[in-house]
Chains A and B, each alone.
Chain A
Amino acid sequence: MKKVLFLVGLLALFGGVVLGQGYSTQPADARVMPVGEAGTPYADFELGVQGGTLNRSAIEGPKSWNAHNAKETSTTQFTYLMYGGLLTNDPVGGGIAVQFAKSYEVSEDGFEITFHLREGIMWSDGTPITADDVLFSYDDLTLNEDVDTNQRDSLELPDGTYPISEKIDDYTVKFTISTVYRPILEALGFSIMPKHKLAEFVHKLNPDVPVGTFNETYTLDTPVEDLVSMGPFMVESYQADISVTMVRNPYYYGYDANGVQLPYYDRLITHIVTNEDVQMLKFRNGEVDVYGNRPEDLAILLGEAPTKGFQVMISDDTNYSNNWFVVNQDIGLADEVDNEKRELYRNPKYREALSHLADTDTMIDVIMNGLGKKIWSPVYPISPFYAGRDSYGGEVTEADSFWYEYDPALAISMLDELGVVDQDGDGWRDLPSGAPLTIEFNTNDNTTRTKFCLILTEDFRAAGLNVNFQVVDFNTLVTRLLSSTGDMILLGLAGGGNDAHAPNVYRTCASLFAWRYSSCEEPTELDVRIDELIAAGVSTLDNDEAFEIYKEYQVLVAQRLGYQYLITSTFLYCYYDHVGNGALSNPYATIAGWRLAEFAFDNRL
């Protein structure tokens, strides 16, 4: 379930796998998708046929195959296809739907959720999936402090406890919560991983292995034969920096209404390319079937689409993603260096000055052909909880929005007030002590982000800040961000769905609280208040009440100036006419990605 947010690369893999035999007949507990059935979210889906290969591209390969460690889309674009949860969301942005659970019940007081699991379902190696796998994934991975995962963040209840699991029998598990937690069903979508393959690497279960060993399992060096899937696809082969080939999991439990086992495509090949220009060329040449294009590609693609037989989708909606820059407020902390710089970075007036130097209107006009929206909140404008709405799910009026308008003069006066002035006459502002202030500004090899950075850098430098912009690869960038070794970084988040609280990002000890991890030990008053609001927001079952709570939360997060928000983009997507169900791609799920890939098919077959 897409309950947590991930750092976005671009939304975008050998050895051999001995295919299992699969089921001899459709399992009684198969998840039958009502493809094409009126009155269901799948009404507009076409029934497909098995066969063919879907080609997509990515500019970053995976960091691992470990669903619990993954914090970035370059990895989750694969792990989401390999592992599932008890529940998921409908692929057209709808509500909660069963996934590996065939049904669930919530007790009258809302404190007990009982899941009935699908019986007779296998891992891709033919081993049965049971309650033991679910509880292993929950108790021994998700809640295990030795495991580096951001899936735990979503499960912390407002009173600081976690749901308690209980195995009723091999195919029934129960979770008990101690307090009201509205997003509990979404939170219980943690990834289920195979106990029979991984338990031996968990120190808690096998004291012979060191603490943290699990974090070094299912790495890119793991033979693909050892990678076991429960999702629609499994890894067949991986060539670093070249491609990942996934094949249908013969034991996947999804079927269409005609009894055809999903996914329809036999193979899903992800071509790892060097940059977005290559991505675009591969699409234009028909080497890949789908492409999440950028606004700057539109004119070329629109002109070619009819001739080459592809479609260009331009949505009225914005994406479930954002772009921001972040100042590392813990810079030098680990080595006790850069103390004065760190003090400056921690001053909200400094970060506010930077926000006033962000010319988002120009970014949208010049870089995005107008196909974007400037943002100020951690909550996506498409969410019903967005504070720019007049009520829960209401009209977007922006009446209560909190903007940092582009105002270079104001930014300059704020920097002056902070004593960040040019003291040695070299044209660049110095730290108050007179020491030079130089700032390294990074993003990944993404042309749109690069252009955002260039516009920002120009304004930063015009204001006298000695900012040096440099592109680094995505996985390096993520490492710098998560290890607090970056200086200033521009990146984005994706996912998280419609709820507002994003517990893996904005709560003080969250795994993506990357602007100041030290706050976990020493939270500011603002941090404490935001944590309280997150707890309050999830503690009510009344959406209207939650909306009001989240409104204050959003304003305070904006004032905290952790991630300094810039822009969210309009949903754009291209697919060749031969990709059946291609038109169903939407801001929430694309046909080559999580939750929709199993429905894509080659309509030439």
Chain B
Amino acid sequence: MKRNGLRALGLATCAVVLVSLIGLTADLASIVSSELIEEISKAAGLALVDEYVLKTVEELEELVATGRTPGIQLAADRALFILNARELELLDMEADALLALAEAGDQDAANMWVMKKRGDFQRPELVEEYLLTVEDDTLAIAAGTLLGGFYVPNSPIGAKTEAELVELAKDGENLGLRVAAATALTAIWIGDQTLTIDQTRAEILGVTLAYPELALAYQGYLAYLFSL
């Protein structure tokens, strides 16, 4: 399986821990422009998409290419996705075309391919089997996200406990399983809302290097907290 990029932060992250903690009370715009922890920056970016859609397409394209932080790039990318009505464009595409784009690294195409194929993934074991064979990270992430819906506690089939999900997010045997666990964990934490913003940021700092998908789960939860 190709690398997913989530572990790519490397040692550079360690050096910014202190910087990150200092910025706990900063506003979103400040966070997204200065935060160096990828998950925290992206969480802020996701919460800023509604503001970024007010920018021009040209501005957004520039930010996607040269934005200073992952959060700025992500916010601009998601805003462009909306402004360009990319979802409808993808919806009109045949599955094979979507698959080709996904294999070339287009995560949105992968997500749409999985949505269109969800009838073939009607049970969690079918998705789990698929994840054993899939070679592209985009498709693994998309299928894993769908699988996460089966893992949430109120799912009629496939539900897992929070402890099981934490374990799976850390040590799942493939990227898709870890993403699935992360998706379900985010859903659980949003339901429970027991962690504050500061606590969540601290949790991210604790796991970002060792367990990037667990950090991804916290990123989703933090984005939700930022958007409140």
Chain B residue numbers with a CB within 8 Å of A298 are: 149, 155-156
Give how many B residues have a beta carbon under 8 Å from the other chain's beta carbons.
32
B147 near A: Cβ within 8 Å? yes
- Is B91 part of the binding interface, using a Cβ–Cβ cutoff of 8 Å? yes
Chain A residue at minimal CB-CB distance from B121 = A299
Considering the chains assembled together, what is the distance between the CA atoms of A89 and B157 in angstroms? 34
**Does B83 sit at the interface, judged by CB under 8 A?**
no
Cβ of A224 under 8 Å from chain B: no
- The 23 listed contacts between A and B (C-beta, < 8 Å) are A278-B91, A296-B119, A298-B149, A299-B148, A299-B149, A299-B155, A300-B115, A300-B146, A302-B187, A303-B152, A303-B183, A303-B184, A304-B149, A306-B188, A306-B190, A306-B224, A365-B123, A368-B122, A369-B123, A369-B156, A370-B157, A447-B119, A451-B119
User: Is B68 positioned at the interface, with any CB of A under 8 Å from its CB?
Assistant: no
A305 within 8 A of B: yes
- Nearest 8 A-B pairs (CB), nearest first? A299-B149, A303-B149, A306-B190, A302-B149, A306-B187, A303-B148, A303-B183, A299-B150
| A297 touching B118, Cβ below 8 Å | yes
Q: Select from chain B the residue with minimum beta-carbon distance to A278.
A: B91
B-facing mask of A530-547, CB < 8 A → 1, else 0? 000000000000000000
Q: Which of B103-161 contact A (CB under 8 A)?
A: 115-116, 118-119, 121-124, 127, 145-150, 152, 154-157
Closest A residue by C-beta to B144:
A303
- Beyond A299-B118, A299-B147, A301-B149, whether A277 also contacts B91 by CB under 8 A is yes
Chain A interface residues (CB < 8 Å from chain B): 277-278, 280-281, 285, 295-307, 312, 314, 365-371, 447, 451
| B45 proximal to A (CB < 8 A) | no
Residue on A nearest B122 in the bound complex, by CB: A369
With a CB–CB cut-off of 8 A, which chain B residues contact A367? 119, 122
A306–B145 Cα distance when bound, in Å, is 14
For A298, A303, A368, the residue with the greatest tally of chain B CB atoms inside 10 Å of its CB is A303
Could you tell me the distance in whole angstroms from the C-beta of A431 to the nearest C-beta in chain B?
35
Q: Please state if A281 and B87 are interface contacts (CB–CB under 8 Å).
A: yes
| Selected contact of A302 from candidates B87, B152, B223, CB within 8 Å | B152
Contact A370 B156 (CB under 8 A): yes
- List chain A residues, Cβ under 8 A from B127: 299
Query: Does B191 count as interface, using CB distance less than 8 angstroms?
Result: yes
The winner among B121, B149, B191 for most chain A CB atoms within 10 A is B149
Shortest distance from the beta carbon of B25 to any chain A beta carbon, whole Å = 24
**Residues in B neighbouring A278, C-beta threshold 8 A:** 91
> Which single member of A281, A307, A312, A447 contacts B91 (CB below 8 Å)?
A281
Whether A302 and B122, one on each chain, are in contact in the complex, defined by CB atoms closer than 8 angstroms, is no
Pick from B87, B123, B145, B224: contact of A303, CB under 8 Å: B145
Interface flags, B160-188, vs A, CB<8A=1, else 0: 00000000000000000000000110111
Contacts of B71 in A (CB 8 A): none
Task: Tell me, rounded to whole Å, the shortest Cβ–Cβ distance linking B200 to chain A.
Answer: 14
Q: Chain B nearest CB: distance from A343 CB in Å?
A: 38
Interface residue from A281, A285, A296, A306 paired with B122 (Cβ < 8 Å): A296
Point out the residues of chain A lying under 8 angstroms from B184, CB to CB.
Answer: 303
Which residue of B has the minimal Cβ distance to A371?
B156
Known: A303-B149, A307-B224, A371-B156. A277 touches B119 (CB 8 A): no
Which residues of chain B come closer than 8 Å to A306, judged between CB atoms? 186-188, 190-191, 224
Contact assessment for B146 and A299 in the assembled complex, using a CB-CB cutoff below 8 Å: yes
The interface bits of chain B over 41-80 (1 if a CB of A lies within 8 angstroms of the residue's CB, else 0) are 0000000000000000000000000000000000000000
CB distance from A471 to the nearest CB of B (A): 15
B220 at the interface (CB under 8 A from A): yes
* Among candidates B121, B123, B156, B187, residue contacting A307 with C-beta atoms closer than 8 Å: B187
* Complex CA distance for A412 and B220, rounded to whole angstroms: 55
Q: Which of A295, A301, A307 has the most CB of B within 10 A?
A: A307
- Bound together, the chains give a CA A187 to CA B186 distance in angstroms of 50
Distance of A296 Cα from B116 Cα, bound (Å): 10
4 further A-B contacts with Cβ under 8 Å, apart from A277-B115, A300-B149, are A281-B87, A302-B152, A366-B122, A370-B156
Residues of A within 8 A of B220 (CB): 307
Q: Which residues of B contact A370 (CB under 8 A)?
A: 156-157
Chain B residues lying within 8 Å of A285, measured Cβ to Cβ, are: 87
Chain B nearest CB, measured from A287 CB (Å) = 11
Residues of A within 8 A of B188 (CB): 306
Q: How far is the CB of B2 from chain A (nearest CB, A)?
A: 23
Once the chains are docked, how many angstroms separate the CA of A533 from the CA of B42?
67
Query: Nearest Cβ distance between residue A603 and chain B, in whole angstroms?
Result: 16
C-alpha gap A305/B71 in the complex (Å):
23
Instruction: Tell me how far the C-beta of A429 lies from the nearest C-beta in chain B, rounded to whole angstroms.
Output: 30
Question: Could you tell me the distance between the alpha carbons of A303 and B121 in the complex, rounded to whole angstroms?
Answer: 14
A371 contact set on B, CB distance < 8 A: 156
Chain B residues, Cβ within 8 Å of A295: 122
Give B189's nearest chain A residue, CB to CB.
A306
Complex alpha-carbon distance, A304 and B186, angstroms: 9
Instruction: Give every chain A residue within 8 A of B116 (Cβ-Cβ).
Output: 277
Q: Report A-chain residues with C-beta under 8 Å of the C-beta of B186.
A: 306-307
**Contact status of A305 and B187, CB under 8 A, knowing A277-B116, A285-B87, A367-B119:** yes
